[in-house]
Protein backbone atom coordinates (compact mmCIF):
# COMPACT_ATOMS: atom_id res chain seq x y z
CA UNK A 1 0.00 0.00 0.00
CA UNK A 2 1.21 3.49 -0.79
CA UNK A 3 2.01 5.59 2.24
CA UNK A 4 2.31 9.33 2.69
CA UNK A 5 4.34 11.06 0.01
CA UNK A 6 6.08 7.86 -1.10
CA UNK A 7 7.29 8.17 -4.68
CA UNK A 8 5.75 5.71 -7.12
CA UNK A 9 8.34 4.08 -9.37
CA UNK A 10 7.97 1.94 -12.52
CA UNK A 11 6.77 -1.55 -11.62
CA UNK A 12 4.59 -4.35 -12.92
CA UNK A 13 1.60 -2.41 -11.56
CA UNK A 14 2.73 0.90 -13.07
CA UNK A 15 4.91 0.06 -16.13
CA UNK A 16 3.98 3.30 -17.89
CA UNK A 17 5.57 5.62 -15.34
CA UNK A 18 8.20 8.05 -16.54
CA UNK A 19 9.99 9.73 -13.67
CA UNK A 20 9.95 13.50 -14.02
CA UNK A 21 13.46 14.89 -14.42
CA UNK A 22 12.70 18.46 -13.42
CA UNK A 23 16.33 19.61 -13.75
CA UNK A 24 16.29 18.65 -17.44
CA UNK A 25 13.70 21.25 -18.43
CA UNK A 26 15.24 23.92 -20.62
CA UNK A 27 14.88 27.70 -20.21
CA UNK A 28 12.62 27.70 -23.28
CA UNK A 29 10.34 25.07 -21.73
CA UNK A 30 10.04 27.09 -18.53
CA UNK A 31 9.32 30.15 -20.68
CA UNK A 32 6.55 28.31 -22.55
CA UNK A 33 4.96 27.32 -19.26
CA UNK A 34 5.13 30.89 -18.00
CA UNK A 35 3.61 32.33 -21.18
CA UNK A 36 0.73 29.87 -21.16
CA UNK A 37 0.13 30.25 -17.44
CA UNK A 38 0.02 34.04 -17.43
CA UNK A 39 -2.14 34.26 -20.54
CA UNK A 40 -4.74 31.75 -19.37
CA UNK A 41 -4.86 32.76 -15.72
CA UNK A 42 -5.61 36.36 -16.65
CA UNK A 43 -8.68 35.19 -18.57
CA UNK A 44 -9.70 32.55 -16.03
CA UNK A 45 -10.06 35.04 -13.21
CA UNK A 46 -13.33 36.11 -14.86
CA UNK A 47 -14.57 32.78 -16.24
CA UNK A 48 -13.44 29.81 -14.14
CA UNK A 49 -15.07 28.11 -11.16
CA UNK A 50 -13.98 29.43 -7.80
CA UNK A 51 -13.03 25.85 -6.91
CA UNK A 52 -10.28 25.97 -9.51
CA UNK A 53 -8.77 29.23 -8.25
CA UNK A 54 -8.79 27.95 -4.67
CA UNK A 55 -7.17 24.70 -5.81
CA UNK A 56 -4.45 26.45 -7.81
CA UNK A 57 -3.59 28.51 -4.75
CA UNK A 58 -3.58 25.51 -2.41
CA UNK A 59 -1.12 23.56 -4.57
CA UNK A 60 0.96 26.72 -5.10
CA UNK A 61 0.72 26.64 -8.89
CA UNK A 62 2.62 29.60 -10.31
CA UNK A 63 3.91 31.01 -13.59
CA UNK A 64 7.50 30.88 -12.39
CA UNK A 65 8.51 27.51 -13.87
CA UNK A 66 7.31 24.10 -15.03
CA UNK A 67 5.81 22.54 -11.89
CA UNK A 68 7.67 19.93 -9.88
CA UNK A 69 5.17 17.08 -9.51
CA UNK A 70 6.60 15.90 -6.21
CA UNK A 71 6.17 19.39 -4.75
CA UNK A 72 2.56 19.47 -5.99
CA UNK A 73 1.88 16.05 -4.48
CA UNK A 74 3.31 17.18 -1.15
CA UNK A 75 0.64 19.90 -1.01
CA UNK A 76 -2.24 18.09 -2.71
CA UNK A 77 -2.23 14.71 -1.00
CA UNK A 78 -3.03 15.97 2.52
CA UNK A 79 -6.08 17.82 1.15
CA UNK A 80 -7.89 15.09 -0.82
CA UNK A 81 -5.53 12.11 -1.07
CA UNK A 82 -4.87 12.77 -4.76
CA UNK A 83 -1.45 12.72 -6.43
CA UNK A 84 -0.06 13.26 -9.88
CA UNK A 85 1.63 10.27 -11.50
CA UNK A 86 4.19 11.09 -14.23
CA UNK A 87 3.69 8.92 -17.32
CA UNK A 88 5.21 8.58 -20.76
CA UNK A 89 2.13 9.63 -22.74
CA UNK A 90 -1.30 8.13 -23.35
CA UNK A 91 -2.03 5.01 -21.36
CA UNK A 92 -4.81 2.46 -22.02
CA UNK A 93 -8.24 3.08 -20.53
CA UNK A 94 -8.16 0.24 -18.00
CA UNK A 95 -4.94 1.31 -16.22
CA UNK A 96 -6.05 4.94 -16.51
CA UNK A 97 -9.29 4.18 -14.67
CA UNK A 98 -7.40 2.02 -12.18
CA UNK A 99 -5.16 5.00 -11.44
CA UNK A 100 -8.15 7.27 -10.89
CA UNK A 101 -9.66 4.75 -8.50
CA UNK A 102 -6.44 4.99 -6.45
CA UNK A 103 -6.54 8.81 -6.57
CA UNK A 104 -3.57 8.91 -8.93
CA UNK A 105 -3.77 11.20 -11.94
CA UNK A 106 -1.59 10.13 -14.92
CA UNK A 107 0.34 13.24 -15.95
CA UNK A 108 2.52 13.72 -19.00
CA UNK A 109 5.76 15.57 -18.33
CA UNK A 110 6.53 16.99 -21.78
CA UNK A 111 6.20 20.71 -22.54
CA UNK A 112 4.85 21.86 -25.88
CA UNK A 113 7.11 23.92 -28.13
CA UNK A 114 6.77 27.62 -28.88
CA UNK A 115 5.37 26.63 -32.29
CA UNK A 116 2.58 24.65 -30.54
CA UNK A 117 1.45 27.32 -28.11
CA UNK A 118 -2.03 27.57 -29.57
CA UNK A 119 -2.77 23.90 -30.11
CA UNK A 120 -1.28 20.52 -29.27
CA UNK A 121 -3.14 17.36 -30.34
CA UNK A 122 -1.90 15.29 -27.39
CA UNK A 123 -1.81 16.26 -23.70
CA UNK A 124 1.26 17.93 -22.24
CA UNK A 125 2.10 19.03 -18.71
CA UNK A 126 0.27 22.31 -19.18
CA UNK A 127 -3.00 20.60 -20.03
CA UNK A 128 -2.58 17.91 -17.39
CA UNK A 129 -1.35 20.01 -14.47
CA UNK A 130 -2.71 23.49 -15.18
CA UNK A 131 -5.94 22.14 -16.66
CA UNK A 132 -6.73 19.24 -14.32
CA UNK A 133 -4.86 19.19 -11.05
CA UNK A 134 -6.19 22.29 -9.20
CA UNK A 135 -9.66 20.74 -9.34
CA UNK A 136 -8.31 17.71 -7.48
CA UNK A 137 -7.95 19.93 -4.41
CA UNK A 138 -11.74 20.31 -4.26
CA UNK A 139 -13.09 17.54 -2.04
CA UNK A 140 -16.38 17.09 -3.89
CA UNK A 141 -14.78 16.97 -7.33
CA UNK A 142 -12.01 14.73 -5.99
CA UNK A 143 -14.59 12.27 -4.70
CA UNK A 144 -16.44 12.32 -8.01
CA UNK A 145 -13.27 11.55 -9.99
CA UNK A 146 -12.22 8.71 -7.69
CA UNK A 147 -15.73 7.24 -7.78
CA UNK A 148 -15.74 7.53 -11.57
CA UNK A 149 -12.44 5.64 -11.74
CA UNK A 150 -13.64 2.87 -9.44
CA UNK A 151 -16.80 2.42 -11.46
CA UNK A 152 -15.34 2.72 -14.96
CA UNK A 153 -12.61 0.18 -14.13
CA UNK A 154 -15.26 -2.49 -13.47
CA UNK A 155 -16.99 -2.34 -16.85
CA UNK A 156 -15.87 -3.71 -20.19
CA UNK A 157 -19.00 -3.48 -22.34
CA UNK A 158 -18.98 -1.11 -25.38
CA UNK A 159 -22.31 0.46 -24.39
CA UNK A 160 -21.05 1.10 -20.87
CA UNK A 161 -17.73 2.39 -22.18
CA UNK A 162 -19.47 4.93 -24.40
CA UNK A 163 -21.61 6.17 -21.53
CA UNK A 164 -18.55 6.60 -19.32
CA UNK A 165 -16.63 8.34 -22.08
CA UNK A 166 -19.43 10.86 -22.54
CA UNK A 167 -19.79 11.49 -18.82
CA UNK A 168 -16.04 12.08 -18.55
CA UNK A 169 -15.99 14.35 -21.59
CA UNK A 170 -18.87 16.56 -20.49
CA UNK A 171 -17.60 16.88 -16.92
CA UNK A 172 -13.86 16.40 -16.42
CA UNK A 173 -12.86 17.75 -19.82
CA UNK A 174 -15.64 20.17 -20.84
CA UNK A 175 -17.71 20.75 -17.73
CA UNK A 176 -19.58 23.96 -16.89
CA UNK A 177 -20.99 24.99 -13.50
CA UNK A 178 -23.45 27.64 -12.36
CA UNK A 179 -21.96 29.84 -9.63
CA UNK A 180 -23.60 32.98 -8.26
CA UNK A 181 -25.95 33.07 -11.23
CA UNK A 182 -23.14 32.86 -13.82
CA UNK A 183 -21.99 29.94 -15.96
CA UNK A 184 -18.32 29.21 -15.32
CA UNK A 185 -15.90 26.58 -16.56
CA UNK A 186 -14.34 23.73 -14.60
CA UNK A 187 -13.41 21.19 -17.30
CA UNK A 188 -9.71 20.89 -18.11
CA UNK A 189 -10.21 21.19 -21.87
CA UNK A 190 -11.79 24.59 -21.30
CA UNK A 191 -9.35 25.70 -18.61
CA UNK A 192 -6.28 25.01 -20.71
CA UNK A 193 -7.64 26.32 -24.03
CA UNK A 194 -8.63 29.94 -24.63
CA UNK A 195 -10.49 29.10 -27.85
CA UNK A 196 -12.52 26.24 -26.36
CA UNK A 197 -13.39 28.34 -23.31
CA UNK A 198 -14.56 31.28 -25.43
CA UNK A 199 -16.70 28.94 -27.51
CA UNK A 200 -18.18 27.26 -24.43
CA UNK A 201 -19.36 30.58 -23.02
CA UNK A 202 -20.27 32.13 -26.38
CA UNK A 203 -23.37 32.19 -28.59
CA UNK A 204 -22.37 29.26 -30.80
CA UNK A 205 -22.53 26.72 -27.96
CA UNK A 206 -25.82 25.40 -26.61
CA UNK A 207 -25.60 25.11 -22.81
CA UNK A 208 -28.07 22.69 -21.27
CA UNK A 209 -28.83 21.81 -17.64
CA UNK A 210 -26.98 18.65 -16.62
CA UNK A 211 -29.30 15.66 -16.97
CA UNK A 212 -27.54 12.29 -16.91
CA UNK A 213 -29.67 10.70 -19.64
CA UNK A 214 -29.03 13.62 -21.97
CA UNK A 215 -25.31 13.61 -21.23
CA UNK A 216 -24.79 9.93 -22.04
CA UNK A 217 -26.86 10.26 -25.22
CA UNK A 218 -24.91 13.28 -26.48
CA UNK A 219 -22.13 12.44 -28.96
CA UNK A 220 -19.02 14.60 -29.28
CA UNK A 221 -16.04 15.17 -31.56
CA UNK A 222 -12.61 15.77 -30.07
CA UNK A 223 -11.11 17.88 -32.86
CA UNK A 224 -13.61 20.74 -33.06
CA UNK A 225 -15.35 23.27 -30.86
CA UNK A 226 -18.25 21.76 -28.94
CA UNK A 227 -21.82 22.48 -30.08
CA UNK A 228 -23.46 21.32 -26.84
CA UNK A 229 -22.24 21.41 -23.24
CA UNK A 230 -23.88 20.75 -19.87
CA UNK A 231 -24.11 22.96 -16.79
CA UNK A 232 -24.14 21.49 -13.28
CA UNK A 233 -25.45 23.35 -10.25
CA UNK A 234 -22.92 21.80 -7.86
CA UNK A 235 -20.31 19.05 -7.82
CA UNK A 236 -22.69 16.95 -5.73
CA UNK A 237 -24.69 16.56 -8.93
CA UNK A 238 -21.91 14.67 -10.73
CA UNK A 239 -21.14 12.57 -7.64
CA UNK A 240 -24.75 11.41 -7.76
CA UNK A 241 -24.53 10.90 -11.54
CA UNK A 242 -21.74 8.36 -11.08
CA UNK A 243 -23.79 6.47 -8.51
CA UNK A 244 -26.81 6.49 -10.81
CA UNK A 245 -24.79 5.29 -13.80
CA UNK A 246 -23.32 2.46 -11.75
CA UNK A 247 -26.77 1.27 -10.75
CA UNK A 248 -27.75 0.86 -14.40
CA UNK A 249 -25.04 -1.59 -15.44
CA UNK A 250 -23.65 -4.90 -14.27
CA UNK A 251 -19.89 -5.09 -13.66
CA UNK A 252 -17.79 -7.19 -16.01
CA UNK A 253 -17.07 -10.71 -14.85
CA UNK A 254 -13.58 -11.36 -13.52
Can you give the CATH number for the domain in which 188 is found?
1.10.800.10
> Looking at the 3D structure of the chain, how many domains does it have?
1
Q: How far is CA 61 from the centre of its chain?
A: 15
- Phi, psi of 25, rounded to the nearest 5 degrees: -65, 140
Identify whether 2 is part of a domain. no
Q: 107-133: per-residue pLDDT in tens?
A: 999 999 888 877 776 789 999 999 999
What is the C-alpha to C-alpha distance for residues 71 and 17, in angstroms, rounded to an integer?
A: 17
What is the C-alpha to C-alpha distance for residues 108 and 132, in angstroms, rounded to an integer?
A: 12
| pTM recorded for the entire structure | 0.91
Instruction: For the chain of 254 residues, list the mean pLDDT of each consecutive stretch of 10.
Output: 51 76 96 96 96 98 96 97 91 90 95 81 89 97 96 84 94 97 97 95 97 96 93 97 86 48
Identify whether 11 is part of a domain. no
Identify whether 1 is part of a domain. no
Identify whether 111 is part of a domain. yes
Identify whether 96 is part of a domain. yes
Residue-range definition of the domain harbouring residue 137: 22-247
Identify whether 69 is part of a domain. yes
Give the number of C-alpha atoms closer than 13 A to the C-alpha of residue 97, restricted to the C-beta side. Answer: 17
Amino acid sequence: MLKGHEEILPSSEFPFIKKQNWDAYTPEEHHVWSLLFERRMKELEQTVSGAYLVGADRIALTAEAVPDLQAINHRLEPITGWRTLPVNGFIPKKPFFDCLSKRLFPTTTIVRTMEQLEYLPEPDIFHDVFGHVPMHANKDFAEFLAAFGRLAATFDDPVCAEAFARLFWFTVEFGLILEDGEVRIYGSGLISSSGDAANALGPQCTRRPFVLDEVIEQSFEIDRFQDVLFVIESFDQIVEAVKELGSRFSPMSS
